[in-house]
A and B are shown apart, each in its own frame.
Chain A
Amino acid sequence: MSGNVVTRLPFPVAARRELGDEQLRRNLRKATHTIRDKRLRVVGEVPDWEPLRVAGAAIKDDVLARLPDLLEQFEAAATAAGATVHWARDAEEACAVVAALVQATGTAEVVKVKSMATQEIGLNEALEAVGIHAVETDLAELIVQLAEDTPSHILVPAIHYNRTQIRDIFASKMADVDATTLTDDPPALAEAARRHLRSRFLSTKVGISGANFAIASTGTLAVVESEGNGRMCLTLPETLISVVGIEKLLPTFADLEVFLQLLPRSSTGERMNPYTSLWTGVTPGDGPQTVHIVLVDNGRTDTLADPVGRQALRCIRCSACLNVCPVYERVGGHAYGSVYPGPIGAILSPQMSGEGANRTLPYASTLCGACFDACPVRIDIPQVLVHLRQSGVDAARGRPSAERTAMRTMSYVMRDRRRYAAALRAARRGAAPLRMVAGRRGALRRLPWPLSAWTSVRDAPLPPKQTFREWWAREHSS
Chain B
Amino acid sequence: MRIALFVTCVNDLMFPDTGKAVVTVLERLGHQVEFPLAQSCCGQMHANSGYREEALPLVANFVKTFSAYDAIVAPSASCVAMVRESYPRLAPSPSVSAVAERTYELSEFLVDELGVTDVGARFPHRVTYHPTCHGLRMLRLGDRPRRLLEAVEGLSLTPLSGAEECCGFGGTFALKNPGVSGAMLADKCAAVVATSAEYLAAADNSCLTHIGGGLSRGSSPVKPIHYAQILASR
Contacts and interface: CB of A to CB of B under 8 A. Distances in A.
B58 A415 contact: yes
A393 B52 CA distance: 9
Contacts of A146: none
B37 A469 contact: yes
A68 interface: no
A414 B58 contact: yes
A12 B174 CA distance: 11
Interface stretch (B11-19, B104-112, B150-158): B11-19
Contacts of A411: 43, 46, 51, 54-55, 57-58
A87 interface: no
Interface in B165-185: 165-166, 168-185
B179 to A, nearest CB: 5
Interface stretch (B131-139, B196-204, B225-233): B131-139
Interface residues of A, number: 68
B174 to A, nearest CB: 6
Interface in A344-371: 362-370
**Chain B interface main SS type:** helix
Contacts of B53: 394
Given A457-B182, A469-B12, A441 B176 contact: no
Contacts of A369: 133-134, 136-138
Interface in A447-463: 450-451, 453-454, 456-461, 463
A450 B49 contact: no
Given A366-B173, A368-B133, A428-B13, A459 B216 contact: yes
B213 A417 contact: no
Given A453-B178, A471-B20, A326 B50 contact: no
B84 interface: no
A58 interface: no
A453 B52 CA distance: 25
B50 A389 contact: yes
Nearest to B50: A389
Contacts of A403: 49
A467 B184 contact: no
B51 A367 contact: no
A330 B16 CA distance: 35
A417 B36 CA distance: 10
A364 B181 CA distance: 10
A336 to B, nearest CB: 12
A20 to B, nearest CB: 9
A165 interface: no
Nearest to B19: A468
A143 interface: no
Contact of A363 (B47, B164, B177, B185): B177
Interface string B183-195: 1111000000000
B214 interface: yes
18 contacts: A19-B183, A362-B50, A363-B176, A366-B133, A366-B184, A368-B170, A369-B138, A393-B49, A407-B46, A410-B45, A411-B54, A443-B216, A453-B175, A458-B217, A459-B217, A461-B14, A464-B14, A473-B37
Interface of B: 7, 9, 11-14, 16-17, 19-20, 35, 37-38, 40-41, 43, 45-55, 57-58, 60-61, 89, 133-134, 136-138, 164-166, 168-186, 209-210, 212-214, 216-217
Given A19-B183, A458-B213, 4 more contacts: A327-B177, A391-B50, A407-B51, A468-B13
Top 10 nearest A-B pairs (CB, nearest first) are A366-B170, A458-B213, A389-B50, A457-B182, A369-B137, A368-B166, A393-B50, A411-B54, A468-B16, A368-B133
